[in-house]
Amino acid sequence: MLVAVLLPFIIAIFIPFLSRWKDKLHTGFFVTIVPVIIFIYFVRFLGTGFEPIVQEYSWIPSLDINMVFHLDGLSLLFVLLISGIGSLVAFYSVFYLHKSEQLGHFYVYFLIFMGSMLGVVLSDNVFALYSFWEFTSLSSFLLIGFWNYKKESRYGALKSMLITVFGGLSLLGALIFMSVLTNTTSIQGMIDQQQLILNNEYFPLILTLLLLGAFTKSAQFPFHIWLPDAMEAPTPVSAYLHSATMVKAGIYLVARYSPMLSANEWFFIIVSTAGIVTLCWGSYMAVRQTDLKGILAFSTISQLGMIMAMLGFGTKVAIFGAVFHILNHATFKGSLFMIAGIVDHEAGTRDIRKLGGLMTFMPITATLAVLASFSMAGVPLPFLNGFYSKELFFDASLHLEAASTGFTGFFMTIVPYLAVFGSIFTFVYSMYFFFGTFRGKAHLEELPKKPHEAPIGMLVSPIILVAGVILIGLFPNVVNEPFIAHAAESVKGMALEEKHLKFWHGIVPPFIMSLAVLVFGTILALSRKVWTPVYRFVPGVLSANKVYDGLVDRVESYSETITKGYMNGSLGRYVRLILAAIIVTTFAFMAITGGFKIDTSNLSQITAPEILVAVTMVIAAIGTALTNNRIAAILILGVVGYGLSMLFVIYRAPDLALTQLIVETVTVALFLLVFYHLPKLRKKDEPVSTKVLNLIISIGFGSLMTMVAISSHSSKLFDSIADYFVKNSYKLGGGDNIVNVILVDFRGLDTLFEIVVLGIAAMAIFGLIRLRKTKGDE
């Protein structure tokens, strides 16, 4: 299986070379081979006697990240969808994408997506799963941005990336939580130890994070907004990623974890609510659309909502229906997308208001469309697969197994009504899609191209899919036993009794619901014109899109405001903020830890000369701040420096005194030299508040340092290592002057690099003075 997952990646590397010959042979042909091989490899596993298979390959064992592939019924369903639809889409794209496009890029992204998606559904290791998960988001980003010269493409790409990566990161959070709690990185391992997770105090957080990941990816309300904008991608991509596979990754995730999570009531409430709301909202929104792909996008959202809701219900019927619908949806929605692509390709527009009456020009396409859209609508005909799963959905909505009190109880009573409500609109847009495009009067003058039937190559893929629709409709139990049942078992986590699908059950409640949908749907569809103003009006301001746009725009503009607010380039401001932080925090720590101490037992005598020097220095230091004469200021600074060297003399540091004297003299000279050329000191004209603030900060900092100094002096806890130097200065260092011996010998490295510092300073100064930029040499 490793080979199967890696094959697309490996082939992707060669695509740039293959695409050089695209003029002779369309790159898509090579690409089609890849999913076909994978499909053939996996289709062998089908059968009633299927048993899960696990294969392990080590990758980063020290972090417990490995390639562990776990092929059970659910994975197999997805793998076959990915490779099967992948083959058809790749073949279809050969005719859809012109050779002048950047085919190399397209197919590289396409293959990366395919490999990643296979990785998602096969990985048992959560971090491998997460890696593949993010890669599906990224390849989707690149594919939506394929025609990146269009502004809408760039917008849609960014939107899908932000929302799905947001979900991805939140999923990562959940996965790490679960893996730390159970001390395993295997999904099956987690499910085996589910009590550790379910009973943890952070379980609500874990559940939220996990579901955020699933809902963003599977476009559940209110995170669905990225999907309609993703329709900027080339149509094969929409058919593949944004309807059949990638958007079902979230469904997959919920299904994968449902053996563990379905035990929790919150899982039932959140997932079913999100699913039902998404179903209703999506189908209602689809009715409003005028772009063929827009209709399909919202339709996908609503169908995903339906599957999600069934996973939330968690009953046997519901799970079975969910899994069955994953397959059915892929067949009819995939073909509808391809049909939309054909219409766009041959008529030059996807705007349903301009289309109409295309049946006479493209009879085959129209036939396919009628079958696929009626299946989507759930019209009760024995050869349409959509009807079966829709009826399972109704059946499930009537038989919820949960507590019948409180909110849950209320919720349970309204679910069937909401299910019917959502399905009515599903019926309406399905009819609109078909009749609006293919029936009615043709407005040829409004179409950019004269419509005609598509080339046969383009029709092959939708024909195969529609054939699937009919075959599954006619013989539902052929796919049921070897295939769907296994998938449902792995979702439910136990064996299900045989579910035999029948078309006719007699006049039972689900059938009545279907009839209601049919009747009301027909009425609404026929009276469409009457409702148009309502459709225009209702979502209005409440759109999640506006929230997204507002957020994204505002993130940038608020960031700018905030950042400019404090990062204004003013050094004074920076220093004030830095010092304030240091003062407050350090004082706080001193208070908390009781760091302040005064011990007067270990002090030297106070003598007059020192006091005199000290007082002079204080006066001089304050003087620097007060004087407005630059020469005076520099000289007063000199006074402080000389005062310091006096102190060095008093405190028995002859070498220091000498050095300080020399350095101070040179510095003062330098100061004078440099500032001879600079403007005079001005009176300080800043507001009093700033002055006070500056004063507070400087006094605060000065006293902080003094207090720490006094405390440090008062808590000499250990003997200094200095005795060693005194003892060994002559014996080992060969010098009487201990300071000198330390400098050149004991700590010679310091001195070496001190000289290096001076050397660098000299070079830098030399460069500063000598190197002048010539004009325009930036």
Partner 1 sequence: MSNLAVLPILLPLLAGIFAAFIHKKTTVVRTVSKMLAVINLLVVGFVFIKVKEQGSIVLEVGGWDAPFGIVLVGDLLSMTLVLTTNIIAVASVFFAPQSLSEKEESYYFYSFFFLLITGVSGAFLTGDLFNLFVFFEVLLMASYGLIVLGNGKVQLRESIKYVLINLFSSMLFVTTIAFLYSVVGTVNMAQIAVRVQEVEQQGILTTIAILLFFVFATKAAVFPLYYWLPRPYISPNPVVSALFGALLTKVGIYSILRTFTLMFNQQVELTHTLFIYLAALTMIFGVIGALSTHNIKLIVAYNIIPAVGFMLMGIGIFTEVSISGTIYYLVHDMIIKGVLFLLAGAIAYVAGTSDLRKMGGLIHHYPVLGWLMFLASLVLAGIPPFSGFIGKLQLIRGGVGEEQVMIIIVALISSLLILFSMIRIFIRGFWGEKTDIPFPERKRRGNLMALPAAALLTLSVLLGVGAEWFFPTIESISQYLMDPEIYIDSVLKE
Partner 2 sequence: MEFIMAILAGILFTTGVYNLLQKQLLRIIIGTGLISHGAHLFILTMGELKRGAPPVLSEGIEQYTDPLPQALILTSIVISFGVTSLLLVLAYRASKINGTDNMEQLRGNDYE
Site for partner 1 in 144-163 (CB under 8 A): 145, 148-149, 154, 157-158, 161-162
Task: Assess 570 for contact with partner 2 (CB under 8 A).
Answer: yes
Task: Assess 20 for contact with partner 1 (CB under 8 A).
Answer: no
Concatenating the DSSP letter of every residue in 293-359 gives HHHHHHHHHHHHHHHHHHHHH-SHHHHHHHHHHHHHHHHHHHHHHHHHHHHHHHHS--BTTT---GG
d(CA 133, CA 116): 7
Task: Assess 776 for contact with partner 2 (CB under 8 A).
Answer: no
Show Cβ contacts of residue 293 under 8 Å, excluding neighbours closer than 6 positions: 231, 235, 238, 337, 340, 344, 350
Toward partner 2, which CB reaches closer, 471 or 621?
A: 621
Contact 146/233 with Cβ under 8 angstroms?
Answer: yes
Please identify which residue in 41, 59, 155, 671 interacts with partner 2, judged by CB under 8 A.
Answer: 671
DSSP E strands in 87-224: the ranges are none
Task: Assess 205 for contact with partner 2 (CB under 8 A).
Answer: no
Task: Assess 540 for contact with partner 2 (CB under 8 A).
Answer: no
Query: Is the peptide bond between 222 and the residue preceding it cis, with omega within 30 degrees of 0?
Result: yes
Q: How many CA atoms lie within 13 A of 410 on its CB side?
A: 3
Q: Minimum CB separation from partner 1 for residue 185, in Å?
A: 10
Q: Rule CB under 8 A: which of 592-621 touch partner 2?
A: 600, 602-607, 610-611, 614, 617-618, 621
Q: Please name the helix (run of DSSP H) or strand (run of DSSP E) that holds residue 118, with its range, or none.
A: helix 103-122
SS3 category, 560: helix
Residue count, binding to partner 2 (CB under 8 A): 98
Which partner in partner 2, partner 1, none is near 166 (CB below 5 to 8 A by kind)? Answer: partner 1
Which partner in partner 2, partner 1, none is near 660 (CB below 5 to 8 A by kind)? Answer: partner 2
Answer left, alpha or beta for residue 356, where phi above 0 means left and psi between -120 and 50 means alpha: left
Q: Minimum CB separation from partner 2 for residue 239, in Å?
A: 43
Encoding tokens for residue 566? 């404090």
Which partner in partner 2, partner 1, none is near 617 (CB below 5 to 8 A by kind)? Answer: partner 2
Please identify which residue in 592, 608, 673, 726 interacts with partner 1, judged by CB under 8 A.
Answer: 592
Toward partner 1, which CB reaches closer, 14 or 766?
A: 766
Task: Assess 770 for contact with partner 1 (CB under 8 A).
Answer: yes
Which partner in partner 1, partner 2, none is near 606 (CB below 5 to 8 A by kind)? Answer: partner 2
Q: Minimum CB separation from partner 2 for residue 671, in Å?
A: 7
Task: Assess 698 for contact with partner 1 (CB under 8 A).
Answer: no
Task: Assess 716 for contact with partner 1 (CB under 8 A).
Answer: yes
Toward partner 1, which CB reaches closer, 134 or 346?
A: 134
- C-alpha closest to that of 298 among 213, 222, 224: 224
Q: Minimum CB separation from partner 1 for residue 72, in Å?
A: 24
Site string for partner 1, 194-213 (x = CB under 8 A): --------x--x--------
Encoding tokens for residue 599? 């011990």
Contact 146/153 with Cβ under 8 angstroms?
Answer: yes
CB burial of 398-420 (b: ≥16 within 10 Å; e: otherwise) equals: bbbebeeeeeeeebbeebbebbb
d(CA 386, CA 517): 14
Toward partner 1, which CB reaches closer, 90 or 172?
A: 172
Which partner in partner 2, partner 1, none is near 165 (CB below 5 to 8 A by kind)? Answer: partner 1
DSSP annotation of 679 reads P
d(CA 251, CA 99): 35
Q: Rule CB under 8 A: which of 88-107 touch partner 2?
A: none
Q: Rule CB under 8 A: which of 119-138 touch partner 1?
A: 127, 130-131, 134, 138
Q: Rule CB under 8 A: which of 676-695 touch partner 1?
A: none
d(CA 289, CA 570): 53
Toward partner 1, which CB reaches closer, 536 or 727?
A: 727
Which partner in partner 2, partner 1, none is near 183 (CB below 5 to 8 A by kind)? Answer: none
Task: Assess 699 for contact with partner 1 (CB under 8 A).
Answer: no
- C-alpha closest to that of 283 among 303, 259, 254: 303
In Å, how far are 93, 261, 355, 362, 444 from 452, measured between CA atoms? 19, 52, 13, 6, 11
Q: Rule CB under 8 A: which of 539-558 touch partner 1?
A: 555-556, 558
Q: Rule CB under 8 A: which of 478-507 touch partner 1?
A: none
Task: Assess 568 for contact with partner 2 (CB under 8 A).
Answer: yes
Q: Rule CB under 8 A: which of 52-71 touch partner 1?
A: 58-63, 65
- C-alpha closest to that of 164 among 121, 135, 185: 135
Please identify which residue in 51, 560, 655, 686 interacts with partner 1, judged by CB under 8 A.
Answer: 560
Q: Minimum CB separation from partner 1 for residue 199, in Å?
A: 15
